[in-house]
Amino acid sequence: MNAMVKAEGVHKSFGPVEVLKGIDLEVKSGEVFCLIGPSGSGKSTFLRCINHLEKINAGRLYVDGELVGYRQKGDKLYELKDSEVAVKRRDIGMVFQRFNLFPHMTAVENVMEAPVQVKGVSKSQARSRAQELLDRVGLADKAGNYPSQLSGGQQQRVAIARALAMDPKLMLFDEPTSALDPELVGDVLDVMRDLAESGMTMVVVTHEMGFAREVGDSLVFMDGGVVVESGHPREVLTNPQHERTKSFLSKVL
């Protein structure tokens, strides 16, 4: 079994509003898995369930074969302690739509923070690794800048480097280019493409159909909290089967 993420009938409600109405899907190890759909379709919520930023109400969600947020003994589920959840999150990198860089730290300090504080890596070691990662995302010369001194695209690339610093086995991208000027989107997508080529397992919520078609290995179209259609990106994007998919794609392509 080489499923990195496996969802079986995942439900999630915010109060009376049911956002996810039974999601079944499987993300294979090493693949780039794209989630598309209109806003409010639940794709971001599902992504946040994967690293337990949201608790699911029903169904089962596994990452690398282990249940997310719970431990199963016999037929009983036990909630994990916060510290146990934190340990699992170390292996899952997340990139947010609004970057969420720490504004009181420079770029290199942002990247160093988690390895030093969570893994106990020495500062000098973390710094040189952080420099390497910033170099990889093309920002070696911006290491000493505070986030407010960087453009949106540069901030997002620092955020990617920050997530990579924990050596995750899975990367989650929550609309990483939606808050960017069109001109800056390309730089971020280049970094993500590079990451995909290195074999990283990636789950990407995106509106960039070009990226999905070119880099994606699988694609899921969600609407109204359910998976409407799934398959290889090129097939779904060029030859959608469902009416809903067709009408959505006709508007965004």
Partner 1 sequence: MTVDIDKTSGPADTPPSGPEAIKAIPVRHYGRYVSAVVTLALLGGIVYAFSQGKINWGAIPDYFFDDRILDGVGKTLLLTVLSMAIGIVGGVLLAVMRLSKNPVTSSIAWFYIWFFRGTPVLVQLIVWFNLGLVFEYINLGPLYKDEWSDFMTPFLTALLGLGLNEAAYMAEICRAGLLSVDEGQTEASHALGMSHAKTLRRIVIPQAMRVIVPPTGNEVINMLKTTSLVSVVQYPELLRAAQDIGQTSGAPAEMLFLAASWYLLLTSVFSVGQYYLERYYARGSSRSLPATPFQKIKANVLSLSNRSASTGGTA
- Binding stretches for partner 1 (CB under 8 A): 51, 53, 82-83, 86-90, 92-94, 96, 98, 100-106, 113-114, 117-118, 146-149, 159, 162-163, 166
Of 71 and 98, which CB lies nearer to partner 1 in the complex structure? 98
Least distance in angstroms from the C-beta of 161 to partner 1: 12
Position 62, amino acid: Y
Q: What separation in angstroms does the CA of 227 have from each of 7, 25, 64, 73?
A: 11, 8, 21, 30
Of 103 and 199, which CB lies nearer to partner 1 in the complex structure? 103
Contact by Cβ (8 Å): 207, 36: yes
Token pair belonging to 64: 């690398």
DSSP state of 53: S
User: Which residue shows structure tokens 């699992």?
Assistant: 88
β-strand partners of 92: 170
Contact by Cβ (8 Å): 103, 159: no
Least distance in angstroms from the C-beta of 80 to partner 1: 13
Of 110 and 245, which CB lies nearer to partner 1 in the complex structure? 110
Whole-angstrom distance, CA of residue 244 vs CA of residue 253: 14
Of 50 and 227, which CB lies nearer to partner 1 in the complex structure? 50
Of 125 and 149, which CB lies nearer to partner 1 in the complex structure? 149
Least distance in angstroms from the C-beta of 107 to partner 1: 11
Least distance in angstroms from the C-beta of 27 to partner 1: 18
Of 105 and 209, which CB lies nearer to partner 1 in the complex structure? 105
Least distance in angstroms from the C-beta of 201 to partner 1: 16
Least distance in angstroms from the C-beta of 148 to partner 1: 6
Least distance in angstroms from the C-beta of 249 to partner 1: 30
E strands present in the chain: 3-14, 17-28, 32-36, 58-63, 66-67, 70-73, 76-79, 92-95, 170-174, 201-205, 218-223, 226-231
Whole-angstrom distance, CA of residue 46 vs CA of residue 63: 13
Of 82 and 141, which CB lies nearer to partner 1 in the complex structure? 82
Residues 6+ apart with CB under 8 A from 133: 111, 161, 164, 165
